[in-house]
A and B are shown apart, each in its own frame.
Chain A
Amino acid sequence: MSLLEIRNLHVKVDNREILKGIDLQVDAGEVHSIMGPNGSGKSTLAQVLARRESYEVTEGQILYEGKDLLEMKPEDAACEGLFMAFQYPVEIPGISNAYFLRSALNAIRKYRGEDEMDAMDFLPILREKVRLLEMDENLMNRSVNESFSGGEKKRNEILQMAVLEPKLAILDETDSGLDIDALRVVAKGVNAMRSPSRAMIVVTHYQRLLNYIVPDRVHVLVGGRIARSGGPELALELEERGYGTMEAAAGAATTA
């Protein structure tokens, strides 16, 4: 059984069909990259996986560990080990980052029937992850993402992933807007999390991130369908030739 199996997924947003039949299988231990031009449906796919309820699934099925993901609430999916790093992390004034992280971890622990962690037990774990992501410890006492720089926000997403230790992590354009140093740190955090029991889906517009996080599989999404799949070399090919040829091919396929 695959960790994630997407079958013929069709999704509408605002009555417009964005995903037009996606099939994808991700096994534990694998890193998949989903690439594609703007508007191809990459983020929609990520949001549907994270159970954003505003996306209307009109057809198809998503199985997560054999269970119907579309029947799960976002919090239940999270507790079952699914995590999405947001493209635009949300600012939450008034809740400290450390408190937020501990609340999230405890919600998940409680779901699994484990004891909740108090602040004293949690602090060393948090410290270790903060160091891994080369973050300023002061950020832990500040409100979640509030007045964080773009790079700090993205690192904060990866920090959450490191603390929550999901089985399936979806990184939604985590690289956009990052300078090379921040990118390197984010990639280091992600690579440190790679394990035989964990899968990742890295959604990105640019090939650059894949120099640091080398995927097992690359899928190119065009016009709501996976136009091509291949190994890491596909990303390099895209870098050279751009999405143009594939868009043309997809266009031809649609009209045909």
Chain B
Amino acid sequence: MGRWKPPLGRQLPRDADAGATPEKKGISVTAATEQKLENYAESFSRFEKLAAGHDVAWLQNLRRNALARFCEVGFPSTGVEDWRFTNVSAIAEARFQLARDGSSEISREQIEQCLPATRTCALVFINGRFSRQHSSVESLPAGLTISSLSGQIRQNPGSLEPHLGRYLNLQRDPFCALNTAFLEDGAYVRAAKNVVAPDPIYLLFVSIGDKDLVMSHPRNLIIAESGSEIDVVEDYMSLDGSVEFCNSATELIANENATVSHYRIERHNTRSFNTSTLRIQQARTANVASHSILIGGALVRNNVHPVLAGEGGECLINGLFIGTGRQHLDNYMLVEHAGPHCGSRQFYNGILDDKAHGVFHGRIVVHKDAQKTDAKQTNRNVLLSDDALIDTKPQLEIFADDVKCTHGATIGQIEGNAIFYLRSRGIDEVSARRLLLMAFANECLERMREGAAREHVEKLIHEHLSRIAKIGSVEKAPRGVSETLQEAQ
């Protein structure tokens, strides 16, 4: 078995942290005894013997190096700046097992309910594994390849070698290392030069329970060759109330002048853990939009990490997170400007109720050569209860001298005046609350291109907000009204 070497090719910009060793940056293991790292090592030793591509040297090395890295650093503690607001000890202390194949227990009807009615292409993954019987791919345009990653590994691993694991930074993030160690299945999407996909590509990841606590590490590779245009929807959800640890990673490569809209929907049950990373690599004049919708999960970490490597690239990083109960929703943005004349716009809206905790960490790094960068960041939050909490933190690191970077954050409540205005026109209080929440959410929806993917997301959000508006009116109406009183005077 040969040593795995990084594939040759164009020099990529260094990740923001590549210079500093993680140890120096303070990644510490919160006493190895509490963390069940040996559990992962044991799972891995069984996994690597049977996994797709177990006989592919570069892939095995990629996995082994990743596991080694993960075991070296373990799960991050809140002492690490990037994890300051998010305590993952609940994940670290649990003993998760790789989920078995649960596809036989799930009917087509169950899956049908989770997907939009009109679609041409949906890959379904059950507990992280591709399920052919639940998936459907109708006529695709020539040049558009959509398959499971495991299938691609078996059939043509060579096609993956130049890309897979190339962009994700295993040194920075132990969850990415863990994902890479267990890399086997997920989606492989490739649009050849100038190919335009007419319909969104749905990737549905569902989980169902087991006697153990289950984990899955979905891994997606999306390649948009120059001039191509695709929409991809990653949708993560639970089919029952069992606890899952879903740790996904997606590498999205947008080559010259490609246009990609990427949607990520997190709607696990509120007992599950979901960590995910979207790593975007943009070449010259590529245009990428990342839309994140977080409405589920007990503890969610949403990493979005675009690198604008070529000249004139545009990136929209759009998100909406809605937390209720004790949900913890952490959004960690790292936007790297490495090429000149690029624009990035971050807009994240948060709605938090009950004791939910939201985090928005917006980091922008402008490298030395990224002159004429135009980077904008806005995080707006609405808190619906006294106990809801938001931590919002901009972080700008600028090494070029001719750039425009702006950031802003707001935290507010539903305005009493606005509710009264709507009520004075005949709209009842619950509907008024729902309308205002939807209006706030619509800011995020309006940044999505019109089409099937947006309609799917819109429907999910509206259903979710209708529930919140109803709950809110019963439990909080008296206090809400008294706040209205004070504001009106």
Contact = CB atoms under 8 A, between A and B. Distances in A.
A51 to B, nearest CB: 7
Nearest to B427: A107
A188 B270 CA distance: 56
Contact of A94 (B429, B439, B484): B439
Contacts of B118: none
Nearest to A77: B424
B435 A103 contact: yes
Interface string B414-451: 01011011111111110110011011111100100000
Given A54-B484, A94-B443, A107 B438 contact: no
Given A52-B488, A92-B436, A94-B440, A108 B424 contact: no
B423 A78 contact: yes
B contact face: mostly helix, strand, loop, or mixed: helix
A93 interface: yes
Contacts of A108: 426
A38 B102 CA distance: 73
B94 interface: no
A160 B442 contact: no
A143 B440 CA distance: 11
B489 interface: yes
Interface residues of A, number: 33
A107 B428 contact: yes
A71 interface: no
Given A75-B426, A94-B439, A94-B440, A103 B431 contact: yes
B486 interface: yes
A77 B435 CA distance: 20
Contacts of B429: 73, 75
Contacts of B489: 13-14, 54
A160 to B, nearest CB: 7
A79 interface: yes
Contacts of B12: none
B485 interface: yes
Nearest to A47: B488
A89 B425 contact: no
A contact face: mostly helix, strand, loop, or mixed: mixed
B481 interface: yes
B334 to A, nearest CB: 28
A177 to B, nearest CB: 18
A102 to B, nearest CB: 11
Given A52-B420, A89-B421, A94-B438, A104 B484 contact: no
A86 interface: yes
A93 B484 CA distance: 19
Interface string A75-90: 1011100011010011
Contacts of A54: 484-486, 488-489
A95 B428 contact: no
Q: Which of B423, B435, B484 has the most chain A CB within a 10 Å cutoff?
A: B423
Nearest to B486: A54
Contacts of B415: 90
Given A90-B418, A92-B439, A94-B438, A79 B426 contact: yes
A94 B442 contact: yes
A107 B484 contact: no
Interface string A165-207: 0000000000000000000000000000000000000000000
B245 to A, nearest CB: 35
Interface string A145-156: 000000000000
B431 A53 contact: no
A50 interface: yes
B442 A95 contact: yes
Contacts of A100: 422, 425, 435
A95 to B, nearest CB: 4
A74 interface: yes
Contacts of A111: 426
Nearest to A101: B425
A83 B424 CA distance: 7
Interface string B243-264: 0000000000000000000000
Nearest to A107: B426
A130 interface: no
A17 to B, nearest CB: 14
5 contacts: A75-B426, A92-B439, A93-B443, A100-B425, A103-B431
In the A-B complex, list the 4 residue pairs whose CB atoms are closest, starting with the nearest: A94-B439, A78-B426, A104-B425, A54-B485
Given A54-B488, A90-B421, A111-B426, 6 more contacts: A50-B424, A54-B485, A74-B420, A75-B429, A103-B435, A108-B426
